[in-house]
Structure 1
Amino acid sequence: MSGGLDVHKVVNEPPSRTLSRAWLRERSELGVSAVLVGLGVLVLVDAIRIHTDFAQRGPVGPKAVPMVVGVGLIVVAALLARDVLRGGRGEAEGGEDVDLTAPADWRTVLLLCGAFLANAALIGVVGFPISGAILFWGAAYALGSRNFVRDPLIAAGLSVLTFVLFNNLLGVPLPGGPLVGMF
């Protein structure tokens, strides 16, 4: 080389590995395509396993929509892969003021996971109105709200409203727990 810095000597990797990593890094959207293919195959396999032992109402059976969704996912994945391999690139994120080099906020993620797990563990014991209030308040706390009077009241209101909407108006039964007779 003519006085320049040899990248392969600095990185201590063979040139083929460096080129393949660079090639993959420039085409990272292929990972999205691979995930879409995996989801499409999963949906198709599940659709094929649907039992049609019950009486069908109308010309379209229960397998139709999942089959269309699965095939659609695979077609979108193929179109995305073709576009990426032809040099297409996704548009850079410009709508948000996010520092992509900043580390992940694992505290917030763990607090949100804790709120969801608490809801899942408590819903059968104390019912949705109480476990939902814990979920809504926990999510608000995890995302930065620290008003300890307003937040639990709003969480309780949202939880009761959600319970009434689903249980009474939409006919989707949710566990009521000790508050079942009140609503």
Structure 2
Amino acid sequence: MKLHDSAIGAVMVIFGAWIVYSASGFPRLTGQPIGPGTFPVVLGTLCTLGGLVLFVSGLRRGDGTLVTLHPGWQKSDRLATIGLMIGGTALLAASFETVGFPLGGSLLLAALFLASGRRHPAWVLMAVGFVCIVHVLLTRFLQVPLPAGVLKGLF
């Protein structure tokens, strides 16, 4: 799917303006020229200006179609993969504390690999290894409290 540049630019202008509006209300620090709202206002302004440039260039080109759907996305297996991604993520979010990140994330990633045609066992091992490495890095080094769930004794 391809969105027209003017549509993406309009969204960026709205988003950047919202950031500038929200961050401009942040309290000022006494005696400091730079406060907590300075960085978000600068980024919001850049986002707004970039969106404006993208919007104008999209209008100049004038393709006419706002959304172009690639024929490959109309295949049933790709739609099933998208459904699995959304449903699996919702199911994992609902049972996150019980199942845990290592098991739930590995099952979801392996199911997505299998649904997208990656049927070799190495892909399943890669999914399990990747999720376990991410879990260890986040919990040990960054101190993110991810639940281990049913694998509590191993992690």
Whether TM exceeds 0.5 here: the answer is yes
Task: List gaps (5 residues or longer) in structure 2.
Answer: 64-68
Question: TM-score scaled by structure 1?
Answer: 0.63
1:173 to 141, 145, 152: 145
Q: Does 1:112 align with 2:85?
A: yes
Q: Does 1:36 align with 2:6?
A: no
Instruction: Using CA pairs under 8 Å that are at least 6 residues apart, name the structure with larger relative contact order, 1 or 2.
Output: 2
CA distance, structure 2, for counterparts of residue 174 and residue 46 of structure 1? 31
CA distance, structure 1, for counterparts of residue 141 and residue 124 of structure 2? 24
CA distance, structure 2, for counterparts of residue 62 and residue 41 of structure 1? 17
Partner of 2:23: 47
* % same residue: 29
Letter in 1 for 2:135: F
Q: Does 1:123 align with 2:93?
A: no
**Could you say which structure has the higher helix fraction?**
2
Task: List gaps (5 residues or longer) in structure 1.
Answer: 1-27, 91-98
3-state SS in 2 of match to 1:182 = coil
CA distance, structure 2, for counterparts of residue 62 and residue 121 of structure 1? 35
Partner of 1:100: 70
1:73 to 47, 53, 56: 47
CA distance, structure 1, for counterparts of residue 127 and residue 47 of structure 2? 37
CA distance, structure 1, for counterparts of residue 40 and residue 119 of structure 2? 43
CA distance, structure 2, for counterparts of residue 175 and residue 45 of structure 1? 37
Q: What RMSD in Å do the two structures reach over aligned CA positions?
A: 3.1
Give 1:172 deviation, angstroms. 2.0
Letter in 2 for 1:171: Q
CA distance, structure 2, for counterparts of residue 116 and residue 70 of structure 1? 30
Say how many residue pairs are matched. 143
Q: Deviations over 1:116-168 (max 9, x none)?
A: 22322222212111111122112212322123x44433322222111101100
Does the C-alpha gap of structure 1 residues 29 and 168 become closer, same or farther in structure 2, counting only changes over 3 Å?
Answer: same
Query: Which of 1 and 2 has greater Rg?
Result: 1
